[in-house]
Structure 1
Amino acid sequence: MKIGFIGLGKMGSGLARNLIRSGYDVLLFDINPQAVKKVSDVGGIIADAPAKIGKEADVVFTSLPLPQHLIELLITSDSLLRYMNPGSVLIDVSTIDPGTARLVAEEAQKNEVEFLACPLGKGPAQAEESTEPIFAGGKKEVFNKYKEILGKIGNPVSYLGDVEQSTAFKLISNMVGMANLSVLSEGFQLAEQLGIDPKQFKELMHDTGANSAQLSLRGPLILDNNYTPMFSVDLAEKDVRLGVEMAEGIGLPVQFSKMTLYHLQEAQKISLGGKDAAAVYQTFSNYAKRN
């Protein structure tokens, strides 16, 4: 079985390396030659264009930054899907909205290609370690057929239903996580303004109902003023914005997520878009300074 991988950024590169380490023949493509080289140093075959991957691969993975990038690749006059063989499968691990997932699923069906939407639950470190949670959606029989391959790049691998359910789950998860980060940032700032030592504040919070994954993961970043990106403000803003739009599409107000989106966009306005999402703390810090 030959596998193609398109999109070798922070997430895709780790997943592709794990497929190579698992013994698969993997065709590699990214618009950034350096990204391709970093993966090909482990193995794999460099493809000069997505069309080559479409023609030769039985399974094609895509990992792209934005929904429009996926649409440009798959739903154009020179669509990758047109080059893929009937009966092959497209597995997208990007974070996209349910509407885009449905559009891709329908376009894939027109071209006799199967489609699984498989967004990921954590970050680049887990992608490299093959411990990335995978939330799969699509036809159950297709999922069952390719579950073993998914297990080479992630764990656990969970089936949620159709492509709308898997992509919606990922957006909801990020909405909740980023809302938690925003209120945590607010709490850090409030504690500091009231004279509580920030380090003690963080440690004591772990022993209360306010304990959370964000406190463990990003509390230290806030304390150290270290915003080296694991998951950037820009990506967090994109995911929360897609989630808010998804909710508005069914008439759900999601006020907490809208407040979270506001603070992420405020962070972008002060040139923190490329920093880790923990930099949203700076929006609360700046507000305190102004007042």
Structure 2
Amino acid sequence: MSTIAFIGLGIMGSPMAVNLANAGHSVSGYNRTPDRTEPLVKAGGSAADSIADAVAEADVVAIMVPDSPDVEEVLVGEDGVFDNAKPGTLIIDFSSIRPDVTARLATQATERGFALIDAPVSGGEPGAINAALSIMVGGAAEDFERAKPVLDAVGKTIVHVGPSGSGQTVKAANQLIVAANIQVLAEAIVFLEAYGVDTAAAVEVLGGGLAGSAVLNQKAQKMLDRNFDPGFRIDLHHKDLGIVTAAAREAGVVVPLGAVLAQLMASARANGDGGLDHSGLFRGVERLSGRTS
């Protein structure tokens, strides 16, 4: 069992930290909003007053924050991980950030006597709660093996996909696929409703054929119910599609559908939907169709 500092206890980080505590690890959590530590404390973990306090005795530091600047602040900022963790500490970054930033931070970590792997996750809030996340890991093979007991406590499908930054690259591809699935599912449901079809029955039969997907299973009912409480916010998916389009341009790869999806996400944010679950793209299809719920 490891002594783990968990930085970032939001929608995803909180249940992940709880699962680590339930697995028997000693977990100290830090979040900018202190009340977010309550579920971890109830699970037997502890609350830290600062990043420095959380990481001081940790063997492993786990990070789950929104974007590249946030990870940089946690690691290299004043009173951050690099200035306060013990030499040899393993840093697992579960955040979804730019691959180039991850690679640069991994180099800095090595120079400071730490090991850093990028381990972004997929599966949303249900996957985090049920410890069933898919985790794509970039970094050295020996660091991946060292991290495996921690990863096993929060994930189900855990794959080492290459050197530093590779996990983030695979996560960017994941977010492209997920966004496309959500968008076409939203379009299909608006289409079905326009014809007065029994949409619940339609979703059931579609789920049993080639159109079936994890996105359909998890997001169709939210669209039918018009319940867009966030499991993964449009704001964050907008950020991820920005990573996709920028990285694709750098690689000389054409992602025309990805570019359209990025614009649809931007439109959703401009219409005030940024805080909704990404299934809230459904509202954008309704707006474009001149239909409102």
Instruction: Give the TM-score range, shorter chain.
Output: over 0.9
CA contact (8 A) 1:75 1:107 kept: no
Structure 1 13/289 Cα, relative in aligned 2: closer, same or farther at 3 Å? same
Match of 1:225 in 2: 226
Aligned letter for 2:138? G
CA–CA separation in structure 2 for the residues paired with 1:190 and 1:40: 46
Aligned letter for 1:74? L
CA–CA separation in structure 2 for the residues paired with 1:183 and 1:92: 31
Match of 2:270 in 1: 269
Aligned letter for 1:137? G
Give, in angstroms, the shift of residue 207 of structure 1: 4.3
| Identical-residue share of aligned pairs (%) | 28
CA contact (8 A) 2:18 2:39 kept: no
Structure 1 26/262 Cα, relative in aligned 2: closer, same or farther at 3 Å? same
CA–CA separation in structure 2 for the residues paired with 1:222 and 1:182: 11
Match of 2:68 in 1: 67
Match of 2:44 in 1: 43
CA–CA separation in structure 1 for the residues paired with 2:78 and 2:34: 25
Aligned letter for 2:283? Q
Match of 1:282 in 2: 283
Aligned letter for 1:105? A
Aligned letter for 1:34? D
CA–CA separation in structure 1 for the residues paired with 2:198 and 2:46: 53
Q: Secondary structure at the match of 2:121?
A: coil
CA–CA separation in structure 1 for the residues paired with 2:214 and 2:56: 43
CA–CA separation in structure 2 for the residues paired with 1:126 and 1:147: 18
Any residues of structure 2 matched to 1:194-209 within 5 Å, and which?
194-209=195-210
Q: Secondary structure at the match of 2:289?
A: helix
CA–CA separation in structure 1 for the residues paired with 2:191 and 2:126: 32
CA–CA separation in structure 1 for the residues paired with 2:38 and 2:200: 41
Which blocks of at least 5 consecutive residues in structure 2 are unaligned? none
Match of 1:106 in 2: 107
For the aligned residue pairs, the C-alpha RMSD in angstroms reads 1.8
Give, in angstroms, the shift of residue 91 of structure 1: 0.7
Any residues of structure 2 matched to 1:91-170 within 5 Å, and which?
91-170=92-171
CA contact (8 A) 2:237 2:278 kept: yes
Q: TM-score, normalised by structure 1?
A: 0.93
Give, in angstroms, the shift of residue 194 of structure 1: 4.3
CA–CA separation in structure 1 for the residues paired with 2:28 and 2:246: 35
Q: Secondary structure at the match of 1:56?
A: coil
Structure 1 56/183 Cα, relative in aligned 2: closer, same or farther at 3 Å? same
CA–CA separation in structure 1 for the residues paired with 2:135 and 2:154: 9
Displaced runs of 4 or more, over 6 A:
none
CA contact (8 A) 2:4 2:60 kept: yes
| Deviation by residue 1:89-120 (Cα, 9 ceiling, x = unmatched) | 11111111211111210110121100111111
CA contact (8 A) 1:54 1:81 kept: no
Give, in angstroms, the shift of residue 140 of structure 1: 0.3
Q: TM-score, normalised by structure 2?
A: 0.92
CA–CA separation in structure 2 for the residues paired with 1:223 and 1:240: 25
CA–CA separation in structure 2 for the residues paired with 1:48 and 1:195: 55
CA contact (8 A) 2:137 2:144 kept: yes
CA contact (8 A) 2:76 2:83 kept: no
| Deviation by residue 1:222-241 (Cα, 9 ceiling, x = unmatched) | 11222122212112211122
CA–CA separation in structure 2 for the residues paired with 1:156 and 1:191: 34
CA–CA separation in structure 2 for the residues paired with 1:214 and 1:289: 25
Q: Secondary structure at the match of 1:192?
A: helix
CA–CA separation in structure 2 for the residues paired with 1:31 and 1:93: 17
Give, in angstroms, the shift of residue 187 of structure 1: 2.2
Residue 81 of structure 2 is aligned to residue 80 of structure 1 = yes
Give, in angstroms, the shift of residue 197 of structure 1: 4.0
Aligned letter for 1:280? L
CA–CA separation in structure 2 for the residues paired with 1:17 and 1:77: 27
Match of 2:22 in 1: 21
Q: Secondary structure at the match of 1:163?
A: coil
CA contact (8 A) 2:11 2:231 kept: no
Q: Secondary structure at the match of 2:276?
A: coil
Residue 210 of structure 2 is aligned to residue 178 of structure 1 = no
Match of 1:211 in 2: 212
